[in-house]
């Protein structure tokens, strides 16, 4: 079966890339499959492998009606290989090869570079499933539990997407990399996942929502940049992944909004006006807004690290080679080669944070990060609208990019959320005001009581405005059979 918009379910691995006619890759993937299932059973959602979950499965890559919903046991989910359709006459849109036909095979000179990018992207997908592994047990509702599992199976599919590219285009070393993607483990001291944020814990549902808001949004930005790639199969696979990614960010944005709404409601009902009266607010069984701000500070800063160094020759090389572009590259009006262009980069100069013009080519990571920060701020405004509507006097704010950083210009300084540099001793004294403390974590944990009756929600979160697939409020999104 040739490449189509429809997904072929006749092979063990659903696909729209004609796997039936590509026995070498089909065989390689069939060999990889048991290891994947093994990984899913040991590292995937703990305790719910025999539950029936109301999941969407991609059945087509047509933007209209690409998914169908049904009850599925997660280990039986049809993880497949889905690429957006090939655009006739597509060209390399930037860099030294601008204007050449897009590559259908890996150019030899960029092989190592492309493999590295695909492996890094692939590594984040199983990592996030590992990080979220125990959250099902404390789900605030069946609706939320289902969303968690949907995100998890789709991250699993995104791993498949990268593994397909490795098997199809990178021969023996591609197969070895694909095997290693199943060996590394989030947070493991000996074989950690590749990027920092993917070795952190996701200990509670507020973290999960912040992660899907901030870290999945890095996923969106990175996938958008890879979707610009001159290596057409990578571009096409990322374009389809973005369709799924949108739901993950929806889960994050609405999850935080619902927690915010519940807190504001509870404060109003109890006649509490001061959002900083934390003990009084916590007594209501909801999460106080200043603690939510701290969680946002943490997840935002961890996600900023995922953009790499502000000034990066790696990024310049990726761009020049035409393998990784800028956000919405084709909509930018310039020469797409950045000849002589500069870009303002925030840097540490004599202990002061200053904007410095750098060659735009080496500032690609900074530019993508700027686009990301703007995108984060937009969604945060929606949380602020929810607070405003309730009349509570509080606003969320993104911390300064120098705050709590481990990669890049600011990794060696300590800074307040307003971007004021401060000494180690002062930081140690004040950091619990800005980042979740152990006591904050313990309090949030105390609220993480499972709420698994259809239509019911935990004390700290409101129901969603609409159900998934337009289901009514008491729909049983997960039929729990524990395993």
Binding residues vs ligand BYC (CB under 6 A): 117, 120-121, 124-125, 128, 155, 195-196, 215-216, 218-219, 222, 305-309, 312, 314-315, 324, 365, 407
Calpha distance 222→241 (Å, rounded): 11
Please say which residue, 114 or 287, places its beta carbon nearer to ligand BYC: 114
Please say which residue, 202 or 263, places its beta carbon nearer to ligand BYC: 202
- Least Å distance, CB 242 to ligand BYC, is 10
Please say which residue, 253 or 305, places its beta carbon nearer to ligand BYC: 305
Classify residue 187 by its DSSP letter: T
Residues 6 or more apart from 442 whose CB is under 8 A from it? none
- Least Å distance, CB 125 to ligand BYC, is 5
- Residue 226's DSSP bridge partners are none
- Least Å distance, CB 446 to ligand BYC, is 27
Residue least distant from ligand BYC (Cβ): 308
Please say which residue, 57 or 365, places its beta carbon nearer to ligand BYC: 365
- Least Å distance, CB 453 to ligand BYC, is 29
Among candidates 55, 48, 131, 94, which has minimal Cα distance to 364? 94
- Least Å distance, CB 6 to ligand BYC, is 26
Among candidates 211, 54, 35, 192, which has minimal Cα distance to 127? 192
Please say which residue, 296 or 451, places its beta carbon nearer to ligand BYC: 296
- Least Å distance, CB 121 to ligand BYC, is 4
Please say which residue, 406 or 482, places its beta carbon nearer to ligand BYC: 406
Q: What angle do CA 108, 109, 110 make, to 5 degrees?
A: 90
Per-residue CA distances from 47 to 57, 152, 192, 479 (Å): 22, 14, 24, 13
Please say which residue, 81 or 284, places its beta carbon nearer to ligand BYC: 81
Please say which residue, 19 or 178, places its beta carbon nearer to ligand BYC: 178
Residues 6 or more apart from 101 whose CB is under 8 A from it? 89, 90, 91, 92
Per-residue CA distances from 345 to 194, 282, 310, 340, 355 (Å): 25, 41, 7, 16, 5
Classify residue 197 by its DSSP letter: G
Please say which residue, 144 or 409, places its beta carbon nearer to ligand BYC: 409
Tokens of 474: 């008491």
Q: What angle do CA 218, 151, 232 make, to 5 degrees?
A: 55
Q: Where would I find the beta strands (DSSP E) of 16-116?
A: 52-58, 67-73
Collapsing DSSP to helix, strand or coil, 158 comes out as helix
- Least Å distance, CB 212 to ligand BYC, is 7
- Least Å distance, CB 50 to ligand BYC, is 25
| Alpha helix segments (H runs only) across 213-309 | 216-227, 232-270, 278-282, 289-305
Calpha distance 267→277 (Å, rounded): 10
DSSP code string of 283-314: TTTS--HHHHHHHHHHHHHHHHHTT--SS-HH
- Least Å distance, CB 227 to ligand BYC, is 11
- Least Å distance, CB 45 to ligand BYC, is 15
Please say which residue, 149 or 460, places its beta carbon nearer to ligand BYC: 149
């Amino acid at each position: 079966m040739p490449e189509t918009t429809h997904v072929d379910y006749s092979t063990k691995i659903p696909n729209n890339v004609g796997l039936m006619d590509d026995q070498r890759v089909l065989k390689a993937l069939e060999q990889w499959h048991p290891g994947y299932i093994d990984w899913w059973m040991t590292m995937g959602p703990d305790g719910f492998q025999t539950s029936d979950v109301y999941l969407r499965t991609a059945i087509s890559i047509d933007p209209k009606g690409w998914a169908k919903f049904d009850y599925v046991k997660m280990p039986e989910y049809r993880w497949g290989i889905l690429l957006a359709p090939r655009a006739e006459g597509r060209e390399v849109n930037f860099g030294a090869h601008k204007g050449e036909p897009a590559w259908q095979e890996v150019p030899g000179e960029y092989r190592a570079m492309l493999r590295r990018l695909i492996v890094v992207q692939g590594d984040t997908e199983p990592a996030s499933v590992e990080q979220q592994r125990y959250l099902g047990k404390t789900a605030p509702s069946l609706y939320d539990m289902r969303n968690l599992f949907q995100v998890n199976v789709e991250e699993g599919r995104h791993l498949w997407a990268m593994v397909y590219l490795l098997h199809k285009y990178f021969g023996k070393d591609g197969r070895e990399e694909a095997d290693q993607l199943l060996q590394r483990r989030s947070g493991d001291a000996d074989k950690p996942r590749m990027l920092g944020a993917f070795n952190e814990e996701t200990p509670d549902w507020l973290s999960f929502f912040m992660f899907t808001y901030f870290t999945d949004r890095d996923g969106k930005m990175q996938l958008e940049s890879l979707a610009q790639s001159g290596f057409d199969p990578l571009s096409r696979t990322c374009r389809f992944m973005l369709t799924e990614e949108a739901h993950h960010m929806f889960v994050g944005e609405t999850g935080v909004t619902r927690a915010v709404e519940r807190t504001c409601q509870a404060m109003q009902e109890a006649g509490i006006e001061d959002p900083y009266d934390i003990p009084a607010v916590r007594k209501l069984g909801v999460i106080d807004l200043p603690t939510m701000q701290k969680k946002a500070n943490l997840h935002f800063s961890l996600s900023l690290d995922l953009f790499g160094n502000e000034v990066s020759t790696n990024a310049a090389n990726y761009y020049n080679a035409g393998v990784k572009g800028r956000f919405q590259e084709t909509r930018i009006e310039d020469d797409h080669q950045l000849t002589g262009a500069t870009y303002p980069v925030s840097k540490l100069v004599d202990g002061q944070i200053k904007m410095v013009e750098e060659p735009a080519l080496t500032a690609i990571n900074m530019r993508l990060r700027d686009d990301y920060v703007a995108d984060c701020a937009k969604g945060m405004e929606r949380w602020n609208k929810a607070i405003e509507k309730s009349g509570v006097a509080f606003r969320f704010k993104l911390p300064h990019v120098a705050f709590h950083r481990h990669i890049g210009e600011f990794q060696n300084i300590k800074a307040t959320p307003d971007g004021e540099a401060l000494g180690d001793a002062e930081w140690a004294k004040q950091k619990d005001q800005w980042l979740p403390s152990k006591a904050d974590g313990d309090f949030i944990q105390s609220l993480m009581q499972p709420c698994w009756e259809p239509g019911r929600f935990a004390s700290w979160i409101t129901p969603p405005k609409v159900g998934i697939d337009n289901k009514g409020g008491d729909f049983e999104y997960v039929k729990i059979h524990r395993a």
